[in-house]
Amino acid sequence: MTAPGSPVSPGASKMSSVPWKRLELAALCAYAVVFYSAMIQRSLRLARDYTGKLYGLRAGSIPGRLNDSSDGQWRNFRGNLPVLTVVMAAFLIVANGLRYGCGLKGRGASLVWLILSLIYLCYLHGACVGFILVIAGINYAIVKLFARYKYCTGIIWSFNLAMLTLNRVYEGYSFSLFGQQLAFLDNYRGTFRWHICFNFVVLRMISFGCDYCWTLSSSHFDHKKHMQKCEVCYSGKTCYFALQEKGLSIDKYTFLTYLCYLTYAPLYIAGPVVSYNAFAAQLDVPQKNYSVGQICCYGVRWILNFLLIEVMTHFFHYNAFVVSRLWRQLTPFEIFIISYGVLIFMWLKFFLIWRYFRFWSL
């Protein structure tokens, strides 16, 4: 027994807090079960009662259920998923086969990836690939001409922001603007608007310019000091921060590698955007942070999440309620359920799109 006024030992205090944590966990689990049970039950009833009034429902992959295809971005991605998967498989087989079979590195790997990526871009954008190459060429010339000037980064940012604005104002331009003899090319604009994807290309062009300017300014990255603080680098691997900050030799900033970086197929549509230094560094030494087993697990997790969103769009139709504006006829609790469901759907949609292309790039 503890005497009055004597301090309580840390061990006793820790033991006394354990039951409260267990009670809190049990209460949270009970709340989650009750809440999601009520949400699923009400969502199923709403989908059943309003099926005939919802827009964007199409025949789905689950027998007897209509699929919510009211979101254009998800509809396009899901519809093109078989084609994307075939392209991904072909890209990986050819690129990795040549890389490991022929020992391609640096410029050789850049050339192979550039050719494959341009074929992919021609399928997406058709003749509009020419706009991308012209703007990329102008940006490359600006970087090379003004890299040694004090305000180089400002010039690079100004040019790219101006191009971004013009692309949106003119909706990707019409070939007829540059002469009637080119007007026929407007019939070959591909399946995807090029100026939408170009947002990521702009970020990459800025990254190339800034990395090149900073390399010329002799910015020093203390890799040894970094290794003392970074667990990844200390273990013998190389973290992304080190790849990004460690400058490359000047001969690595070539037009070939630059174009390969801008159009690299796995990261072209949805990113993520990596810096030029990090990209070029991995042309010679591929990433070793993820093993084949980890990448396979990554793919399995993606498939499970894809099945989850398939169940959502076939049974609940959250987004269709918003598109159809039927939420105005619902009770406040039902509006809350639809709103919460749309948030989950949006998060899953962007999660799956982004993770798909990241899986491809790994």
Which pLDDT value is given to residue 1? 46
Q: Does 340 lie in the same domain as 234?
A: no
Q: Residue 208: is its pLDDT beyond 60?
A: yes
Q: Higher confidence at residue 350 or residue 272?
A: 350
CA distance 117 to 266: 9
Q: Does 246 lie in the same domain as 152?
A: yes
Mean pLDDT in residue range 201-206? 94
| Whether 162 contacts 218, CB under 8 Å | no
Between 172-186, 216-230, 303-317, the lowest mean confidence (pLDDT) is in: 216-230
Mean pLDDT in residue range 204-210? 93
Q: Is residue 206 part of a domain?
A: yes
CA distance 297 to 163: 40
> Which among 309, 319, 259, 308 is positioned nearest to 115, based on CA atoms?
259
Q: Residue 114: is its pLDDT beyond 80?
A: yes
Q: Does 125 lie in the same domain as 61?
A: no
Q: Does 331 lie in the same domain as 237?
A: no
Q: Is residue 153 part of a domain?
A: yes
Q: Cα-atom radius of gyration of the chain, to the nearest Å?
A: 26
For residue 45, give both structure tokens.
């009833």
| Domain stops at, among 252, 285, 318 | 285
Between 19-33, 96-110, 228-242, 299-313, the lowest mean confidence (pLDDT) is in: 228-242
Quickly state the pLDDT bin for 255 (edges 50, 70, 90): very high
Whole-structure pTM value: 0.77
Q: Does 120 lie in the same domain as 97?
A: no
Q: Residue 246: is its pLDDT beyond 60?
A: yes
Between the alpha carbon of residue 290 and those of residues 67, 98, 261, 303, 354, the distances in Å are 36, 21, 21, 19, 18
For every residue of 216-243, DSSP letters joined together read HTT----HHHHHHH-HHHHTTS--HHHH
Q: Does 242 lie in the same domain as 112?
A: yes
Which pLDDT value is given to residue 137? 95
Mean pLDDT in residue range 100-115? 78
Q: Is residue 6 part of a domain?
A: no
| Whether 164 contacts 202, CB under 8 Å | yes
Q: Does 99 lie in the same domain as 113?
A: no
Amino acid at 306: F
Phi, psi values for residue 57, rounded to 5°: -90, 130
Q: Residue 128: is its pLDDT beyond 70?
A: yes
Q: Does 147 lie in the same domain as 68?
A: no
Between 75-84, 99-108, 135-144, 262-271, the lowest mean confidence (pLDDT) is in: 99-108
Quickly state the pLDDT bin for 57 (edges 50, 70, 90): confident
Whose structure tokens read 């039902």?
A: 334
> Which among 249, 123, 264, 155 is positioned nearest to 200, based on CA atoms?
264
For 140, the enclosing helix (H) or strand (E) is helix 129-146
CA distance 166 to 195: 10
Q: Is residue 192 part of a domain?
A: yes
Helix then strand count (H, E) for the chain reads 15, 2
Total number of domains in the chain: 2
Which pLDDT value is given to residue 244? 67
Percent of the chain with pLDDT over 70: 86
Q: Does 138 lie in the same domain as 240?
A: yes
Give ∠ CA 193-194-198 in degrees, rounded to 5: 130
For residue 39, give both structure tokens.
């949400």
DSSP 8-state class, residue 171: T
- Residue range 319-328, pLDDT digits in tens: 888 888 887 8
Q: Residue 5: is its pLDDT beyond 70?
A: no
Q: Does 275 lie in the same domain as 186?
A: yes
Quickly state the pLDDT bin for 219 (edges 50, 70, 90): low
| Widest pairwise Cα distance in the chain | 99
| Domain stops at, among 261, 285, 309 | 285
Q: Is residue 135 part of a domain?
A: yes
| Domain stops at, among 226, 255, 285 | 285
Which pLDDT value is given to residue 197? 84
Q: Residue 112: is its pLDDT beyond 90?
A: no
Helices (H), 178-291: 194-216, 223-229, 231-234, 240-245, 255-263, 265-268, 276-284
Mean pLDDT, rounded, of the chain? 84
Q: Is residue 159 part of a domain?
A: yes
The beta-strand segments (E) located in the chain are 57-59, 66-68
Q: Does 142 lie in the same domain as 52?
A: no
> Which among 38, 34, 14, 36 is positioned nearest to 26, based on CA atoms?
34
SS3 content of the chain, % helix, strand, coil (to 5): 75, 0, 25
| Whether 190 contacts 125, CB under 8 Å | yes
Whether omega before 272 lies within 30 degrees of 0, making that bond cis, reads yes
For residue 329, give both structure tokens.
């006829």
Quickly state the pLDDT bin for 301 (edges 50, 70, 90): very high
Which pLDDT value is given to residue 231? 66
Domain coverage including residue 130: 106-285
Q: Residue 103: is its pLDDT beyond 80?
A: no
Q: Does 248 lie in the same domain as 128?
A: yes
Q: Is residue 81 part of a domain?
A: yes
Q: Is residue 20 part of a domain?
A: no
